[in-house]
Amino acid sequence: MSKAKSKPKSKKNTSDKTGNKIYKGIIIVLVAILVIITIILKMSIFKSYPVEGAKQKLSITNGETYTGFIDDLAKENKVSFPIVLKLYRKLFIHDTMKAGVYEVKQGMSVRQVLEMISNVENAQMSRLLVIEGTTTKQLITSLKNDPLIEKSVVHLPPAEMLKALNIPYDHPEGLFAPDTYFFDKGESDKKILTDLYQRQMKILDEAWEKRAPNLPYKDKYEALIMASIIEKETSVDRELRQVSGVFYRRLKLGMRLQTDPTVIYGMGDKYQGKISKQDLRTPTAYNTYTINGLPPTPIALPSKKAIEATMHPDDSDNIYFVATGNGGHKFSANLDDHNRAVREYIEVMRAKN
């Protein structure tokens, strides 16, 4: 009995099966890609912005960028895949971040927050950062540039502005308290400046009332002038009373203050980052290398700490100080020690260069 011959498989069936496998493979790959993309989007663009409670304030300052904002979120582990957020911003948000205080509600996505902070109309409040040691001119510029603040006095000349604010001084420098402030959207510059002035006067009055005896200042305004100089001379809190003590003793001894920040202030717009020996010899109302005693006005906005240090100078014998080159200053009671400290500073700076 002969065996039946089996029919050969058709090429068409084999081809169809191979095609089906490839098709299924492609579908699986596409689904996998889609799943991965979905996960990435859920961990970045569509991730809920972290909010403590039902809502919280998000403060954006002048000069902040989306790149920095997104990088900060990533560093704090609040979002993943920051590159995706940056790409989304580049493709869909064609504006910069706007300074202000925004309200972020529970459940809002990171995408919604990114879009919200590109429109100043979404801001609930204005955040004003007045940095200690900056000038009134810089404060006024910040107010002028803040779109959330109603302008009525910042465009006036200084004397007219003070008159409109009912401030009984001829010069605005030093009269406004540095700090971080929050104001309702649409607040007037007049209200803000009045508030900052009243805060500074309250600080000054309280410090003057508790001042050490025998200070060489005839009134609290002279103390404010000195506080502004101290503020500019050191950013190290523990040195404030030491610097205060140096200038206190110089005034008592009839020595000139010889402090560079006053020279710089007197130069105004002529100052381009460096002062020369000629600048130190050029007389101005503020050049304490050429005038005796205090300059006519403060040279910056002093902090509460600087004002309090002015009222309580240290009790050492130091009358000199110079930067160390490594942060802070070296204080000396005599010229020989001071000159030695100057040479050490020069050596440190040479080593760094």
Domain finish residue from 97, 122, 147: 122
Residue 10: pLDDT band (50, 70, 90) is low
In a domain? residue 12: no
Q: Which two tokens stand for residue 350?
A: 């040479």
Q: Looking at the structure, do residues 283 and 302 belong to the same domain, yes or no?
A: yes
pLDDT in tens, 314-341: 999 999 999 998 889 999 999 999 999 9
Higher pLDDT, 99 or 279: 279
Give the separation between CA 185 and CA 149, rounded to whole angstroms.
7
**Residues across the chain:** 353
In a domain? residue 201: yes
DSSP state of 43: H
Q: Looking at the structure, do residues 197 and 316 belong to the same domain, yes or no?
A: no
Residue 16: pLDDT band (50, 70, 90) is low
3-class SS shares of the chain: helix, strand, coil, % to 5: 50, 10, 40
pLDDT in tens, 264-277: 999 999 998 889 99
In a domain? residue 74: yes
Give the separation between CA 59 and CA 80, rounded to whole angstroms.
22
In a domain? residue 48: no
The predicted pLDDT at position 80 comes to: 87
Q: Looking at the structure, do residues 154 and 78 belong to the same domain, yes or no?
A: no
In a domain? residue 28: no
Domain finish residue from 163, 188, 206: 206
Q: Looking at the structure, do residues 75 and 159 belong to the same domain, yes or no?
A: no
pLDDT in tens, 26-55: 888 888 888 888 888 888 888 899 888 888
pLDDT at 11 over 80: no
Q: Looking at the structure, do residues 343 and 246 belong to the same domain, yes or no?
A: yes
Domain finish residue from 206, 233, 255: 206
Residue 292 has a CB neighbour count (10 Å cut-off) of 10
pTM for the full model?
0.79
Number of domains in the chain: 3
pLDDT at 4 over 70: no
Q: Looking at the structure, do residues 149 and 234 belong to the same domain, yes or no?
A: no
Q: Looking at the structure, do residues 272 and 326 belong to the same domain, yes or no?
A: yes
Domain containing 166: what range? 128-206
Q: Looking at the structure, do residues 342 and 231 belong to the same domain, yes or no?
A: yes
In a domain? residue 180: yes
pLDDT at 286 over 90: yes
In a domain? residue 284: yes
Residue 285 has a CB neighbour count (10 Å cut-off) of 12
Q: Looking at the structure, do residues 221 and 200 belong to the same domain, yes or no?
A: no
Distances (CA, A) of 191 to 70, 108, 129, 156, 159: 34, 33, 16, 15, 17
The predicted pLDDT at position 140 comes to: 97
In a domain? residue 277: yes
The predicted pLDDT at position 42 comes to: 83
Summarize the confidence of residues 16-20 as an average pLDDT.
Answer: 67
Q: Looking at the structure, do residues 344 and 232 belong to the same domain, yes or no?
A: yes
Query: 58-62, 130-134, 159-163, 164-168: which range is least confident on average?
Result: 58-62
pLDDT in tens, 200-249: 999 999 999 999 999 999 999 999 999 999 999 999 999 999 999 999 99
Look-up: residue for tokens 């040195």?
Answer: 239
Q: Looking at the structure, do residues 59 and 164 belong to the same domain, yes or no?
A: no
Give the separation between CA 276 and CA 153, rounded to whole angstroms.
37
pLDDT in tens, 131-145: 999 999 999 999 999
The predicted pLDDT at position 306 comes to: 98
Q: Looking at the structure, do residues 158 and 73 belong to the same domain, yes or no?
A: no
The predicted pLDDT at position 237 comes to: 94
